[in-house]
DNA sequence: CTGTCATCTTGAATGGCATTCAAGAAAACA
DNA sequence: TGTTTTCTTGAATGCCATTCAAGATGACAG
């Protein structure tokens, strides 16, 4: 017979920690947020976080997965709109005063967990872009290369603070160069 | 009358520290290198570094400036070669198992010094690319945008471990899309 | 109702880190 | 020779992620 748990909230508390972490990461960045700060925000002690997550990197991964989930969900609801608009919106979801993508890239070399998350993320993003890019009239044999270039441009935008019209300009220019029927 | 210094090596010791730091940053990355390790590599104690540099970020800036200097110097000697080759080589200079560009992006938000270095670096790189890109037949009004896209693609390559033929493929694709006469 | 066991939480370490401080050597100068 | 400036260091300080051993708390078995 299965032994028990506490307040019936196994996953809920985990989510509460992630919510607290997401808020602080967004405000102060990953490096600017201590486990102590996350714990305080969640109303617990830092030790408790380690019962739910192996380490700080894994908290980051949890936050990133929530972000991806939200981004994909919202992208679904925008199914009718053109690629350009959906791209613009997705970048908005991941853009923060303190972009977490920079942290991911900086930590890939130090953390196995972050490295595999990053690899998965790239594959997913590239697959999505390839299919989107084909839909707007880019020949199949070019789609993979164009998608990789797009990934880099998107990450470039996420890595650097920019105005919204810069974002439009860069994405439009890239799509135009790639030969998208505007 | 000017008071004195020691072994006539004011700047030389500074350079020795930078050389030690460059070696370790290249091997283990910025975060993976402690001031203690840099000091040991340079044959001094960590405190001494602080007499020559305000902090660890400033050591990083010193290392980066050396890298830029070397890159520009080598680019000069390749003056006859096509843009593509010079670009490829410049990326090679900045590419490391542990790319420092990721560290720069991650630290821009936390360090004033790194932020201004980063801004200057971008301006310089963009200016160079604009002039290069004009030379190979890209209309002036497009040159700025194409250059910014190129910067992002270059940084994307620097941010991600990749094979040399990936690098060729991405840069060639970008130049071709931009309309460079190959 | 009671003792046991898994689940969850914590106070108090541990070890590493960047950085600072006060004091010490060492060369140049008067 | 003694003072001043330049350089170096041993020994802190304080923050950090992470760990450990012990304490609560609830579910279940008898």
Identify the CATH number of the domain in which residue A87 sits: 1.10.357.10
B174 to chain A nearest CA, in Å? 7
- B32 CA vs D21 C1’ separation (Å): 31
Residue whose C-alpha is closest to residue A101's, from A55, A152, A33: A152
Tell whether the model's pLDDT for residue B2 goes beyond 50.
no
Q: Please report whether residue B4 resides in a domain.
A: no
Q: Please report whether residue A1 resides in a domain.
A: no
Q: Please report whether residue B1 resides in a domain.
A: no
Q: pLDDT-derived band of residue B123, with 50, 70 and 90 as boundaries? A: very high
Residue-level pLDDT at A4: 47
Residues A76 and A101 occupy one common structural domain: yes
* Residue A31 belongs to domain with CATH number: 1.10.10.60
- What average pLDDT does range B155-171 have in this prediction? 93
Q: Which residues contact B2 (CB under 8 A, 6 or more apart)?
A: none
Residues A35 and A121 occupy one common structural domain: no
The number of residues making up chain A comes to 182
Phi, psi of B109 (to 5 degrees): -75, -20
Q: pLDDT-derived band of residue B182, with 50, 70 and 90 as boundaries? A: low
Helix axis angle for B83-94 and B112-135, nearest 10°, is 160
Q: Which two tokens stand for residue B19?
A: 């050389």
Tell whether the model's pLDDT for residue B40 goes beyond 90.
yes
Domain that holds residue B125: 56-178
The shortest CB-CB distance from B174 to any of A110, A149, A155 is to: A149
Whole-number mean pLDDT of chain B?
Answer: 91
d(CA B60, CA B83): 28
Residues B176, B180, B182: CA angle, nearest 5 degrees: 80
Measured between beta carbons, the chain A residues lying within 8 angstroms of B110 are 29, 31-32
Q: pLDDT-derived band of residue B99, with 50, 70 and 90 as boundaries? A: confident
Q: Please report whether residue A2 resides in a domain.
A: no
Q: Which two tokens stand for residue B54?
A: 């305000």
d(CA A26, CA A42): 15
Using the C1' atom of nucleotide D24, identify the protein residue whose alpha carbon is closest: A6
Q: Answer whether A105 sits within 8 Å of B173, measured CB to CB.
A: no
Measured between beta carbons, the chain B residues lying within 8 angstroms of A169 are 145
Q: Answer whether B106 sits within 8 Å of A102, measured CB to CB.
A: yes
Residues A29 and A64 occupy one common structural domain: no
Tell whether the model's pLDDT for residue B90 goes beyond 80.
yes
Note whether ipTM > 0.90 here. Answer: yes
pLDDT tens profile A127-139: 999 999 998 889 9
Whole-number mean pLDDT of chain A?
Answer: 91
d(CA B129, CA A68): 34
Q: Which two tokens stand for residue B135?
A: 């030379």
Tell whether the model's pLDDT for residue B79 goes beyond 90.
no
Q: Please report whether residue B16 resides in a domain.
A: yes
Specify whether the CB–CB gap between A34 and A56 falls below 8 A.
Answer: no
Residues A26 and A76 occupy one common structural domain: no
Query: Would you say the C-alpha torsion A140, A144, A150, A154 has a positive or negative sign?
Result: positive
Q: Answer whether B149 sits within 8 Å of A106, measured CB to CB.
A: no
Residues B75 and B159 occupy one common structural domain: yes
Q: Please report whether residue B88 resides in a domain.
A: yes
Q: Please report whether residue B15 resides in a domain.
A: yes
d(CA B39, CA A171): 45
Tell whether the model's pLDDT for residue A5 goes beyond 60.
no
Helix axis angle for B164-178 and A140-159, nearest 10°, is 100
CA atoms within 13 A on the CB side of B141: 0
Phi, psi of A119 (to 5 degrees): -60, -45
Residues of A in CB contact (< 8 Å) with B are 29, 31-32, 97-99, 102-103, 105-110, 122, 145-146, 148-149, 151-153, 155-157, 159-160, 169-170, 173-174, 177-179
Residue-level pLDDT at B5: 52
Specify whether the CB–CB gap between B16 and B10 falls below 8 A.
Answer: no
Residues A49 and A69 occupy one common structural domain: no
Q: Which two tokens stand for residue B89?
A: 């080589």
Q: Which two tokens stand for residue A122?
A: 């790239």
Q: Which two tokens stand for residue A115?
A: 């490295």
Residues B168 and B100 occupy one common structural domain: yes
Residue-level pLDDT at A7: 53
Tell whether the model's pLDDT for residue A97 goes beyond 80.
no
Total domain count, chain B: 2
Q: pLDDT-derived band of residue A102, with 50, 70 and 90 as boundaries? A: very high
Q: Which nucleotide is nearest to A46 (CA to C1')?
A: C10
> What is the percentage of chain B residues whose pLDDT exceeds 90?
76
Residues B15 and B71 occupy one common structural domain: no
Type and span of the H or E element at A38: helix A35-42
- What average pLDDT does range B44-72 have in this prediction? 96
Q: Which nucleotide is nearest to A49 (CA to C1')?
A: C9
The shortest CB-CB distance from B102 to any of A102, A148, A156 is to: A102
- B159 CA vs C20 C1’ separation (Å): 35
Q: Please report whether residue A77 resides in a domain.
A: yes
Residue A37, CA distances (Å) to A17, A98, B102 in order = 11, 17, 25
Residues A64 and A97 occupy one common structural domain: yes
Q: Answer whether B110 sits within 8 Å of A29, measured CB to CB.
A: yes
Q: Answer whether A156 sits within 8 Å of B157, measured CB to CB.
A: no
Tell whether the model's pLDDT for residue A65 goes beyond 70.
yes
CB atoms within 10 A of CB A129: 21
Q: Which two tokens stand for residue B109?
A: 């938000």
Instruction: Return the minimum-mean-pLDDT range out of A61-75, B22-36, B81-95.
Output: B81-95
Residues A104 and A26 occupy one common structural domain: no
A84 or B51, higher pLDDT: B51
Instruction: Return the minimum-mean-pLDDT range out of A122-126, B20-24, B85-89, B155-159.
Output: B85-89
Residues A14 and A91 occupy one common structural domain: no
**Best of A25, A91, A109, A178 to disrupt the B interface by mutation (most B CBs within 10 Å)?**
A109
Residues B61 and B34 occupy one common structural domain: no
B180 or B143, higher pLDDT: B143
Specify whether the CB–CB gap between B125 and B151 falls below 8 A.
Answer: yes
DSSP chain B: -----SSS-HHHHHHHHHHHHHHHHHHHTTTT--HHHHHHHHTS-HHHHHHH-SSHHHHHHHHHHHHHHHHHHHHHHTTTS-HHHHHHHHHHHH--TT-HHHHHHHHTTT-HHHHHHHHHHHHHHHHHHHHHHHHTT--HHHHHHHHHHHHHHHHHHHHS---HHHHHHHHHHHHHHHT---
- B3 CA vs D3 C1’ separation (Å): 12
Instruction: Return the minimum-mean-pLDDT range out of A38-42, A163-167, B30-34.
Output: A163-167
Residue whose C-alpha is closest to residue A153's, from B149, B82, B114, B27: B149
């Amino acid at each position: 017979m299965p032994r028990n748990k506490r307040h019936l909230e196994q996953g809920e508390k985990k989510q509460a920690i992630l919510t607290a972490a997401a808020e602080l990461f967004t405000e102060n960045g990953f490096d600017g947020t201590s486990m102590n700060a996350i714990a305080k925000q969640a109303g617990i002690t830092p030790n408790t976080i380690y019962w739910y997550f192996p380490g700080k990197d894994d908290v980051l991964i949890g936050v990133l997965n929530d972000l991806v989930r939200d981004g994909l969900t919202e992208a679904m609801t925008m199914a009718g709109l053109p690629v350009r608009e959906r791209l613009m919106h997705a970048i908005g979801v991941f853009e923060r005063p303190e972009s977490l993508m920079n942290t991911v890239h900086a930590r890939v070399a130090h953390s196995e967990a972050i490295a595999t998350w990053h690899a998965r993320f790239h594959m997913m993003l590239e697959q999505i872009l390839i299919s989107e890019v084909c839909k707007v009239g880019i020949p199949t044999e070019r789609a993979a290369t164009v998608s990789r270039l797009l990934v880099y441009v998107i990450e470039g935008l996420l890595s650097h603070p920019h105005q919204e019209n810069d974002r439009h300009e860069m994405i439009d220019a890239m799509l135009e160069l790639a030969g998208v029927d505007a």
